[in-house]
A and B are shown apart, each in its own frame.
Chain A
């Protein structure tokens, strides 16, 4: 485009037409079209190449002036995810991105979560790469160089900060003329947007709920109506997706959905088609959304600032209907809490309305009368409880066991690994559901609304409830599913509430119940916990990030609050997984010891130095850790004689174990058994190949039981004469449960099987997650709720008028035939008594016995 220089526009000079209002120019100084951009050169006029920011720049600073206030900010800031969590590389270093004027303004003027930002914006979200297309976040910047100064409006979301830059935002009180110029530009742009994209009148009430950001920005800038005529024709709707309704009229082309689809999720479905005024968001090659490769993850709708992408009412109704039916079936007293109700609670402030809608029926309100049980010890669960009012007592039902952490068996145990198991124990137990609080068999703990939340550990790690909870007063709770709990933990406002409560009420209990302190008296444990409470670090670790590496010096001890940690060991060049640690587990005790061995040399009769880490710990998903520094712990041991006395034995054991495991590291054989995670299995389908005639009756029986689709494959690992068929193993630590966007996969009640609910959206994440390939994707006729509230199969009408059921992908896995009668038909059907169900350790025992006798 061979465009040329333009003179300074002077649109308001006198003409034949009477001009009642004379407005000053928007451009403060003369900047010509296609002139070099401001800040393209440094002060001395040298052109600056923009390089990728480095982690070192997180510590370098620049000082600029924003609205008259000098602001010093780092050159780079850490990248964050959509909930504000810092993203890190595999070594744990925050991933940097350049600091923009918008970021610097946040640093200077936004002091608490939820506070309004001085710069309004539509297309920008801090977790997305900035594009600078809406031009609402314009600020006036002044550049000072040897050649003089130039001022211009620039998009604050894109423009990087430089030393000496002078910025005036729309909120500037320092330079009100500049603020007025910015306001006129921003509000004219907002007028253009509301002329075409404002929600229609009949959608206005719906739009108020979804926090239409365009309406919010217009209100904020005082734009009541547009001086521009609205578009005469509609851009159309796309209702082809069963889940998301696309209303192109409300689309402002901010590209947040595009960046969400391709940057946050990696689906690459959404793009743009057409150009200029005709530009629209498009799915694949401009296909209807319902026929595109969209996997209905919902990210686009949650990202969308307007009503352009919304969840279909029928989708939400279907979800709610299913939960209602389940509640009815269970005879539950619960009632569904909709997104509209949820936004009223302070705990849910700041969570996108559309996210709450998407997780439509994930929150159930339950009212309890005194004496009524909220949950029973030993049950598997997938929910947590937000206490709204009333009081509950928490106690152990002695008839059952308690959830306990015990040292894991075999090599991973020597390495300091722990395992959470249900075992019949008397005496004290640690309630993982109450942030690890210790409780005696006959003790009762009272909780109320000040505790805010209960049972979040069960919700996240899917282990059985650790205690029974019974109402003592009329009570009301919100029962929430994992996705909602995750969101609560990520959303800044909710997070602050939860963290505050956690520090105040739970951290000490958690510390007191650390396994390493077991030998101490109750009083000493309390003393240690009190001393450590204010010193421990609460740290977040990102998926894939290494917490420590094999061979690193050991100096910290960790307790997982949330998430899964993978323990791996390097052996003869191979990396092998030793264990997955669920929330509530502690690891790396050796890091506490330091020179304690020398201190106790006399008592132990030897001076053992703890060595380096014998395994690598990596976060599998979002992991939250309590980190206890060795030096803090050792200070305590030195200071208090009673602690010192009772620690001797523990220290001795730990050091011996350390030496042993380091020696073991040299000797251990690479065993498929370990590598393949079979030790975690609770129900393996094992075929005795000496008896098996390969008649495949087991596979047929499985298919017959499950709508003609088999859930087992008669092939897999071989141990001696046994074949471990590819069928769900009901792992101790089912990694498949992590991350389901609709929480359709879980373990219920007190049985072992992994159940996949029929509202599975077919995204395939659980199948990807299963390390053993035991979850498969299959097509099923799609079902929806009709106008009478009945579930009906959805049909597509072909051109010739015939009907074809719409096929939807769904994940399937072995349910141990629980949907039938609870006897696995594969075992039942075997005519040769060759099929068995057994746990991993049982198989290990049999095979090692066999090999010994050989």
Chain B
């Protein structure tokens, strides 16, 4: 579509209109999407874009799309928002006026078992106490909310920021009070103009309520929050690159250690967490974590072992070949099948599942039936029969701890591929995404992502015969292992996953691609 539009624009307007393909706009639920001068056009076709461009040129108004379309129905409906749509900052008020203590808050987070919602899934209470204990060299600590949601297939933060920005802001204020920071930023990707505006307005409202600023609710505590629109691309969402960008440097990840909890923004202890992690804090603190701890689906065959440790609810963005893609708040630990069938109303056009990306493209493509040799056998032993050779992907529980035990990646963005999909083309497209978004700092990612994509493209172009495939296979596998072991940040570590997992789980499709020759 990009090429067609590009040719059309060149023909019509010469150099005045530029059409470019971009990596991600964060609207996978309404694909394909486009932006014309920062205005969103979702579920588009070529015709609609042409009309919008013409309208823009002729100063004519044309209806564009809004993220409110998807966020509005959820406003005040999710459990993540204890205020039913409009924040009152009661938890902050209680904390500063009724003698709340950091220990109490941290204990509540521990009881609730809140995990980081950005993907890595670290325990939130640990991070909070780490930053709280860390010494600052200039008596200054910071709180930063990572709203640079750019992983393909992930768009839950987009709707949280519109439907319940007060929960994020209240979570950040509480974080500041607990760790000893009085400055914070919400770092939002620049493709989210409505969210940027909404956060700014909510910050202003919170200030007017007295929940933000100097002397929160007439106490001695202070907190200043600002929105920081991201200047760059996907890499800016990597936690250390984000901090570099905030320091006005080229957004490149840092070598670790040190961790941001001790040496973050301006070398000071920094609590950097995902939008949703902050957003759950008010709901958790309302009753010291009891309600959140009681949530969670613990009865499935594969979750029984972990039992009580599966806690809470979380939001998933789901897109692809399902009937109703979107953002859903569900109990942790429900199966993928349940998410698809009950929440998304099943598969589109009655297709069967061909593959699922459970963590955007970063976890690679999983097949509908996963051979158990690719999973962690030790983790499986207790929950399945010895005669089972494959696990149905629909039975996989959507819980990060289970995923670690069983050995698959689980993020916040799930993409479901129906049986009409060309999986090789999808894997190559995902691989291109990482190649395009690599920052270029370290060699394994800069060159590895390119070389692995080149090999995928050759396979896709039927330029590889069966003989060459057998020599290519170990090269891709070793390159993938080296990229995982030596890249500086997560991008390089996952960049090989789309193709590596394709070859691992769909060898017959790779062989089919060779036969086309």
**Complex CA distance for A133 and B253, rounded to whole angstroms:** 10
Q: Does B488 contact A (CB under 8 A)?
A: yes
Q: Does B170 contact A (CB under 8 A)?
A: no
**Chain A residue nearest in CB terms to B438:** A276
Tell me if B478 and A276 are in contact (CB < 8 A).
no
Tell me if A1 and B238 are in contact (CB < 8 A).
yes
Q: Which A residues touch B130, using CB under 8 A? A: 47
Tell me if A18 and B470 are in contact (CB < 8 A).
yes
Tell me if B257 and A37 are in contact (CB < 8 A).
yes
- Contact among A2, A21, A35, A253 with B440 in the assembled complex (CB-CB below 8 Å): A253
Q: Does A195 contact B (CB under 8 A)?
A: yes
Tell me if A138 and B120 are in contact (CB < 8 A).
no
Q: Which B residues touch A136, using CB under 8 A? A: 443
Tell me if A189 and B482 are in contact (CB < 8 A).
yes
Tell me if B474 and A19 are in contact (CB < 8 A).
yes
Q: Does B59 contact A (CB under 8 A)?
A: no
Tell me if A192 and B447 are in contact (CB < 8 A).
yes
Known: A15-B503, A47-B133, A277-B435. A2 touches B274 (CB 8 A): yes
Q: Does A227 contact B (CB under 8 A)?
A: yes
Q: Does B91 contact A (CB under 8 A)?
A: no
- Contact among A6, A36, A49 with B484 in the assembled complex (CB-CB below 8 Å): A6
Comparing B35-43, B93-101, B297-305, B492-500, the segment that makes contact with chain A is B492-500
Known: A11-B500, A135-B486. A47 touches B261 (CB 8 A): yes
- Contact among A9, A19, A27, A195 with B473 in the assembled complex (CB-CB below 8 Å): A19
Known: A138-B486, A158-B255. A2 touches B443 (CB 8 A): no
Tell me if B262 and A49 are in contact (CB < 8 A).
yes
- Contact among B122, B151, B363, B446 with A253 in the assembled complex (CB-CB below 8 Å): B446
Write the B132-170 contact mask toward A (1 if CB under 8 angstroms, else 0): 011101000000000011110010000000000000000
Chain A: minimal CB distance from B249 (Å) = 11
Q: Does A693 contact B (CB under 8 A)?
A: no
Q: Does B67 contact A (CB under 8 A)?
A: no
Comparing B72-80, B384-392, B403-411, the segment that makes contact with chain A is B403-411
Tell me if B359 and A3 are in contact (CB < 8 A).
yes
**Chain A residue nearest in CB terms to B454:** A229
Q: Does A275 contact B (CB under 8 A)?
A: yes
Tell me if A5 and B484 are in contact (CB < 8 A).
no
Known: A7-B408, A16-B507, A37-B257. A279 touches B478 (CB 8 A): no
**Complex CA distance for A587 and B493, rounded to whole angstroms:** 61
Q: Does B441 contact A (CB under 8 A)?
A: yes
Q: Does B48 contact A (CB under 8 A)?
A: no
**Complex CA distance for A39 and B255, rounded to whole angstroms:** 12
Q: Does B266 contact A (CB under 8 A)?
A: no
Interfacial residues of chain B within 357-396, with CB under 8 A of chain A in the complex? 359-360, 362-363, 373-374, 376
Q: Does B119 contact A (CB under 8 A)?
A: yes
Tell me if A276 and B437 are in contact (CB < 8 A).
yes
Q: Which B residues touch A185, using CB under 8 A? A: 482, 485-486
Tell me if B442 and A33 are in contact (CB < 8 A).
no
Chain B: minimal CB distance from A289 (Å) = 20
Q: Which A residues touch B150, using CB under 8 A? A: 1-2
Tell me if B363 and A26 are in contact (CB < 8 A).
no
Tell me if A276 and B439 are in contact (CB < 8 A).
yes
Tell me if A227 and B441 are in contact (CB < 8 A).
no
Known: A36-B259, A50-B263, A229-B454. A4 touches B440 (CB 8 A): no
Q: Which A residues touch B52, using CB under 8 A? A: none
- Contact among A3, A47, A196, A277 with B494 in the assembled complex (CB-CB below 8 Å): A3
Tell me if B258 and A49 are in contact (CB < 8 A).
yes
**Chain B residue nearest in CB terms to A40:** B257
Q: Does B480 contact A (CB under 8 A)?
A: yes
Chain A: minimal CB distance from B308 (Å) = 21
Chain A: minimal CB distance from B106 (Å) = 15
Chain B: minimal CB distance from A127 (Å) = 19
Which of A13, A37, A152, A188 counts the most chain B CB atoms within 10 A? A188
Tell me if A26 and B119 are in contact (CB < 8 A).
no
Interfacial residues of chain B within 212-246, with CB under 8 A of chain A in the complex? 233-235, 237-238
- Contact among A7, A12, A132, A279 with B255 in the assembled complex (CB-CB below 8 Å): A132
- Contact among A2, A39, A228, A275 with B451 in the assembled complex (CB-CB below 8 Å): A228
**Chain B residue nearest in CB terms to A160:** B257
Q: Does B479 contact A (CB under 8 A)?
A: yes
Known: A7-B407, A134-B443, A276-B438. A13 touches B263 (CB 8 A): no
Which of A15, A33, A51 counts the most chain B CB atoms within 10 A? A33
Tell me if A1 and B237 are in contact (CB < 8 A).
yes
Tell me if A3 and B411 are in contact (CB < 8 A).
yes
Q: Which B residues touch A8, using CB under 8 A? A: 407
**Chain A residue nearest in CB terms to B262:** A49
Tell me if A13 and B447 are in contact (CB < 8 A).
no
**Complex CA distance for A23 and B473, rounded to whole angstroms:** 12
Q: Which A residues touch B359, using CB under 8 A? A: 3-4
Q: Which A residues touch B409, using CB under 8 A? A: 4-7
**Complex CA distance for A135 and B485, rounded to whole angstroms:** 10
Chain A: minimal CB distance from B397 (Å) = 15
Q: Which A residues touch B119, using CB under 8 A? A: 1-5, 34
**Complex CA distance for A279 and B450, rounded to whole angstroms:** 12
Q: Which A residues touch B238, using CB under 8 A? A: 1, 3
**Complex CA distance for A328 and B500, rounded to whole angstroms:** 67
Tell me if B485 and A27 are in contact (CB < 8 A).
yes
**Complex CA distance for A32 and B116, rounded to whole angstroms:** 15
Q: Which A residues touch B250, using CB under 8 A? A: 271-272
Q: Which A residues touch B480, using CB under 8 A? A: 9, 11
Q: Does A573 contact B (CB under 8 A)?
A: no
Known: A13-B373, A189-B443, A276-B439. A40 touches B482 (CB 8 A): no
Q: Does B504 contact A (CB under 8 A)?
A: yes
Tell me if A49 and B134 are in contact (CB < 8 A).
yes
Tell me if A26 and B482 are in contact (CB < 8 A).
yes
Q: Does B448 contact A (CB under 8 A)?
A: yes
Interfacial residues of chain B within 263-303, with CB under 8 A of chain A in the complex? 263, 269, 274
**Complex CA distance for A12 and B258, rounded to whole angstroms:** 33
**Complex CA distance for A853 and B409, rounded to whole angstroms:** 97
Chain A: minimal CB distance from B247 (Å) = 15
Tell me if A277 and B440 are in contact (CB < 8 A).
yes
**Complex CA distance for A9 and B409, rounded to whole angstroms:** 11
**Complex CA distance for A152 and B485, rounded to whole angstroms:** 8
Known: A3-B362, A14-B373. A189 touches B412 (CB 8 A): no
Tell me if A27 and B373 are in contact (CB < 8 A).
no
Tell me if B407 and A26 are in contact (CB < 8 A).
no
Tell me if A1 and B435 are in contact (CB < 8 A).
no
Tell me if A35 and B120 are in contact (CB < 8 A).
yes
Q: Which A residues touch B482, using CB under 8 A? A: 26, 184-185, 188-189
Q: Does A387 contact B (CB under 8 A)?
A: no
Interfacial residues of chain A within 470-497, with CB under 8 A of chain B in the complex? none
Tell me if A40 and B478 are in contact (CB < 8 A).
no
Q: Which A residues touch B507, using CB under 8 A? A: 15-17
Tell me if A6 and B477 are in contact (CB < 8 A).
no
- 20 interchain pairs, CB-CB under 8 A: A1-B119, A1-B238, A2-B119, A2-B149, A2-B150, A2-B237, A6-B484, A11-B500, A23-B478, A27-B484, A36-B257, A39-B257, A40-B256, A49-B262, A50-B263, A133-B488, A189-B443, A192-B443, A253-B443, A276-B450
**A-B pairs with the 6 shortest C-beta distances?**
A279-B440, A276-B438, A7-B407, A49-B262, A11-B477, A37-B256
B contact set with A: CB distance below 8 Å: 118-122, 130, 133-135, 137, 148-151, 154, 233-235, 237-238, 250, 255-259, 261-263, 269, 274, 359-360, 362-363, 373-374, 376, 400, 403-404, 407-413, 435-444, 446-451, 454, 469-470, 473-475, 477-482, 484-488, 490-491, 493-494, 497, 500, 503-504, 507-508, 510-511
A contact set with B: CB distance below 8 Å: 1-21, 23, 25-27, 32-40, 46-51, 131-136, 138, 152-153, 155, 158, 184-185, 188-189, 192-193, 195-196, 227-229, 252-253, 271-272, 274-279
Beyond A7-B407, A11-B478: 13 further Cβ-contacts under 8 Å? A1-B238, A3-B362, A4-B119, A6-B484, A7-B404, A35-B120, A36-B122, A40-B257, A189-B443, A189-B482, A229-B451, A275-B438, A277-B450
